[in-house]
Amino acid sequence: MKVFKKILIVIGVIVAIPLILALFVNKSYEVEESIIINKPKAEVFDYVQHLKNQDNFSKWATMDPNMKKTYHGTDATVGFISAWESDNDSVGVGEQEIVNMVDGERIDYELRFIKPFESTQETYMSTRTVGENQTEVKWGFEGEMKYPMNLMLLFMNFEEMIGDDFQEGLNNLKTILESK
């Protein structure tokens, strides 16, 4: 009986430690990448405000050439939705909706993943003049993991996982816009 009690105590401690640790782990995360594009802000914003244009520069849009894409609404306006469906688990099934726009400054999206897992992320793109005919473009996302799942943030590096993909997309965007 004493051995059984000790085993239960050890199991209880093993379960309790991560749950207690999760109380002190940040629940929010964010990733933001930026690039300077040698074009006027108005021209850059006019291009990035069209969600369909992400098909030209986003890394994820090129990961599956057989991806099925559908669009709903008027591009470059709040409420426009770009949806995708792919058998490639790295792409999956989901949709992105323009949820807010500050003309010439920022576009906010809601990114909804359906498969291979369900998740909703807030993403954005912003533009800012940094010099004559130079525009800084920022692309990022923010989210939150609820307790106790936030413990996974200790082992996940979103900057490494997603940041490189954002930067690749921004590099593609720079190439496209500066070649016009």
Q: pLDDT digit string (tens) for 32-66? A: 999 999 999 999 999 999 999 999 999 988 888 89
d(CA 49, CA 103): 9
Q: pLDDT digit string (tens) for 120-138? A: 889 999 999 999 999 999 9
Q: Which residue has the tokens 């909703």?
A: 120
Extents of the domains making up the chain: 27-178
Alpha-carbon dihedral of residues 8, 24, 150, 140, nearest 10 degrees? -170
d(CA 54, CA 62): 10
Q: Is the pLDDT of residue 157 over 80?
A: no
- Which is more confidently placed, 176 or 88? 176
CATH number of 27-178: 3.30.530.20
Look up residue 56 and give its amino acid: N
Q: What pLDDT is recorded for position 84?
A: 96
Under a CB-based contact definition with an 8 Å cutoff, are residues 107 and 118 in contact? no
3-state secondary structure of 42: helix
Q: Is the pTM of this model over 0.95?
A: no
Q: What is the DSSP letter of 88?
A: S
How far from 10 is each of 7, 54, 60, 148, CA to CA, in Å? Answer: 5, 52, 45, 20
3-state secondary structure of 137: strand
Element (H, E) at 172: helix 164-178
d(CA 25, CA 14): 18
Under a CB-based contact definition with an 8 Å cutoff, are residues 140 and 124 in contact? yes
Q: What pLDDT is recorded for position 158?
A: 67
